[in-house]
Chain A
Amino acid sequence: MCLGIPGEVVEIVDSARHLAKVDVVGVRRNVDIGLLEDDGGVVPGDWVLIHVGFAMAKIDEAEAARALEGLQLMGAAYTDEVEAMKSSRIAE
């Protein structure tokens, strides 16, 4: 699904290869942050919109909290997306 889920950047895993670890409601996986390199890059503590293993946009923390609440209202579509993300093994 075209769902972008908000997640918090917790660690830059490999800046040359644009990989960062994000936390999405407690699920921690690596994502590619290369699409944000022209936007000043990301640092731990930034919140980003994640879609199929890529950070697509930076969002502020307050907005991220709102988006998460809204997504949780979406029920199964949201939990399915988080479940799918759990299966990801990017850069492990």
Chain B
Amino acid sequence: MRFVDEYRDPAAARALVARITELAGDDHFKLMEVCGGHTHTIYRHGIEHVLPSSVELVHGPGCPVCVIPMGRIDDAIAVASTPGVIFTSFGDMMRVPGSTGNLLGAKAMGADVRFVYSPLDALRIAADNPDRPVVFFAVGFETTAPSTAVTLLRARSDGISNFTVFCNHVTIVPPLKAILESPDLRLDGFIGPGHVSTVIGQRPYRFVPEVYRKPLVTAGFEPLDILQAIEMLLLQIRQGRCQVENQYTRCVREDGNPKALAVLAEVFELRPHFEWRGLGFISQSALKLRPEFADWDAELRYSVPGVRIADPKACQCGEVLKGAIKPWECKVFGTACTPETPIGTCMVASEGACAAYYNFGRLHREAAVRVGSRAPVASGAAVPEPA
């Protein structure tokens, strides 16, 4: 039980795995998670190899970096390449490839591209450089959007006029709905995102059981949290229940964070539609600045190409993001597409499924094959046939 021994409480992990195996029985379950942090935990701790083969985990569009289409990166590079601009960004976005390169490449060509930890750091740069225009590349789900919102409120109240935001925030509910509407996916349940839920709470997910009849359990980030959420999902299914449950009660409340939701409503409005890598255009799925914040909106201050760029032919990020294929099923995984030479976003972002699998999963899978069974099992249960 090599991997389970790495868990904080191996005995609890074994007990959960035994319970999950018992609940799953002879049926097969496909459970999707939609949170980059969960993808990372699952691969990092080899959770897929600890679970019985009757439970399959599918990784959905949980990485807000991964779903930004190439054309939008080109737009960012165009803004960054505007003479005089200081272009600030989180680390992951700087390596995402557009059609002719990434932000780091633009930096090498002379653009002033700077890493920031927080949008407040970007605002600080603007305050310190009043004669230079500063742009913040805002990316992330509802976890991160409130931080951009508060920063914009502060820019306005402090009168910092050389600061603008290039807004690419997306929301979690529309892609969940798009996945549920997708004919090629037959999922049995969802593991709900952790920190998005600290902001939006639990109510936005109710449409999943109420309209689509699938259970959803919000989970924390430890391997034990994920295992417990899986157990809760299977228990629901076996007991004929179908509801939103919260495994992450220590950080997630039913109502989320009302203050964060209030600042979101004050600063942002929904775009009519937005293009998602792999999922196409989804209506009402992304945020833009309200007209009252037009003076801080980079899209109004700079003209951007706004061109739709198709992914490279070899790139199967779209299918990976929908959970239709696994990272290792992509034809260029590990060969033409690696973390050093990424073709698509799933390999660039640290929480992308391909990067996570490349860094952790391959080794665990090979170890499991060497051991002779697909998944190590709790003591007392029979060893399953190799997959």
Contact = CB atoms under 8 A, between A and B. Distances in A.
Q: Chain A interface: which size bin?
A: 35 or more
A89 B124 contact: yes
Contacts of A80: 91, 350
A72 to B, nearest CB: 10
A39 B220 CA distance: 21
Interface stretch (B33-41, B104-112, B366-374): B33-41
Contact of A77 (B40, B147, B194, B252): B40
Nearest to B221: A70
A53 B35 contact: no
B161 to A, nearest CB: 19
B120 interface: yes
Nearest to A34: B150
B257 A54 contact: no
A76 B263 CA distance: 32
In this complex, the member of B8, B35, B120, B225 whose beta carbon has the largest number of chain A beta carbons within 10 angstroms is: B120
Interface string A1-41: 11110000000000000000000000000001011111100
A48 to B, nearest CB: 10
Contacts of A3: 37, 195, 221
Interface in A60-92: 60, 63, 66-67, 69-71, 73-77, 80, 84-85, 87-91
Interface of B: 6-8, 35-37, 40-41, 44-45, 64, 90-92, 115-121, 124, 140-141, 143-144, 146-147, 150, 194-196, 198-199, 220-225, 250-252, 257-260, 263, 350-351
16 contacts: A2-B36, A2-B143, A38-B259, A49-B251, A52-B90, A52-B144, A60-B250, A67-B221, A70-B8, A70-B222, A70-B223, A74-B221, A87-B115, A87-B117, A87-B121, A90-B118
The 10 closest A-B pairs by CB, nearest first: A53-B118, A70-B222, A88-B117, A38-B259, A84-B117, A54-B147, A63-B250, A52-B118, A57-B198, A90-B120
